[in-house]
Amino acid sequence: MKTIGLDINKALGAITKEQVYAWEGKANACNALLENGNGAGNDFLGWMHLPSSITEAELADIEDTARILRSQCEVIVTIGIGGSYLGTKAVIEALNNSFDWLQAKRENPVLVYAGHNIGEDYLYELTEYLKGKRFGIINISKSGTTTEPALAFRILKKQLEDTLGKEEAKQRIVAITDARKGALRTLADQEGYKTFIIPDNVGGRFSVLTPVGLLPIAVAGISIRELVAGAVSMEKATDVSVPFAENLAAIYAATRNELYKSGKKIEILANFHPKLHYIAEWWKQLYGESEGKDGKGIFPASVDLTTDLHSMGQWIQDGERTIFETVISVETPDHKVEVPMDEADLDGLNFLAGKRVDEVNKMAELGTQLAHVDGGVPNIKITLPEVNPYYIGQLFYFFERGCGISGYMLEVNPFDQPGVEAYKKNMFALLNKPGFEKESEAIRAKL
């Protein structure tokens, strides 16, 4: 099998190769901090060797549970927020047929999502959609008390129990939660739900290769063994023993930190493959939540191209020069479509007749990259040989390892997220949650 590629040549100009390689010592030291566990947040490093530590028994248990859910359900609702949802959705959207959910006859259940917002209309429309359908629930929460997923689970659990009765409903609910404590663990033990464990030392945004991601991905009919195998290969390729010049994650971390140092404060993750949209959504959480601390951090943004060239293209080309792009490029698409000849040629596209659509797309990609570089936007290129589970597994681990190294290079703790709690305190106070009386008084005085 091949390995994903990294090319920083079109970032050179705004910075030099010598400047990137000047980070070698620090990048290696930061990678060593990850390996030896001596850095900040070292109690959340379980993702580091997670791919290579997953056992045959664990994979078989997940696959068996997925088969049972597929046999029972035509729809599975995956409940979770942030890392308990984005990684899963990213993998499934990248690897499933774009229009599979429209098919009347399906091999695998439709996967829908809940608990990632507090939209009343969304929940109403979801409950209406589920009426008359055989559905099950995968509820993902370490604590069981995070507002968005807890609220969705309360509503959907009641709907399932009202439809099937409590005993039958239990057979269609799987809880992925803490091993010993928390509201969801207590409920799962009381009700007898099938459960999987979220490891204590793996944070949500790094959890896609735990049951958090692997169970829904397996339910969708995607090979979790190939996904894990790809991640294992990248775990080896970015190991602390790999020299800097050959270590993709270290070079990526060094390049983006040098660009940040030079005044490039925004990284735009771009793709020319529509199925990769949610990869960027997961990546934004991974880097934003890991690095945005202490008044520091590159702001992660994303675009889908060529679509967004007709909306964001002008700003990227001619706006403030505080940005750089990282482009995910797919070498080989799954399918072949050729442009037909048209006798009238009213659209003027006969010059493309006989060419594959992918060739047109690749030239749009190259033309865009050249234009943006000429416009002062440094470009990093990540090449994905194909969009399949193996290379998606590589890509996820590459970004995770790069994030850990980059966060330490930035001298922040990449594995906490203290700022996430600020809105919750205000929300609970405004809703008069018990225990937030003082905060409620203070907040209402500001209104």
Active site residues: 289, 310, 424
Residue ranges in 202-276 assigned as alpha helix (H): 211-219, 224-237, 248-261
Q: How far is CA 254 from CA 234, 245, 279, 336, 442, in A?
A: 18, 11, 22, 37, 44
- The DSSP 8-state label assigned to residue 343 in this structure reads S
CB atoms within 10 A of CB 379: 23
Task: Quickly count helices (H) and strands (E) in the chain.
Answer: 18, 10
Phi, psi torsion values for 19, nearest 5 degrees: -65, -40
Amino acid at 432: N
Q: Is the Cβ–Cβ distance between 304 and 277 less than 8 Å?
A: yes
What distance in Å separates the CA atoms of residue 299 and residue 130, rounded to the nearest whole number? Answer: 38
The secondary element (H helix, E strand) that includes residue 296 is: none
Q: Is the Cβ–Cβ distance between 46 and 200 less than 8 Å?
A: yes
Phi, psi torsion values for 106, nearest 5 degrees: -130, 150
End-to-end CA distance of the chain: 59
User: Nearest-5° angle of CA 324, CA 2, CA 226?
Assistant: 100
Q: How far is CA 263 from CA 53, 166, 183, 267, in A?
A: 40, 58, 45, 11
What distance in Å separates the CA atoms of residue 214 and residue 207, rounded to the nearest whole number? Answer: 9
Phi, psi torsion values for 384, nearest 5 degrees: -105, 115
Q: Is the Cβ–Cβ distance between 305 and 368 less than 8 Å?
A: yes
What distance in Å separates the CA atoms of residue 14 and residue 265, rounded to the nearest whole number? Answer: 13
Q: Is the Cβ–Cβ distance between 423 and 45 less than 8 Å?
A: no
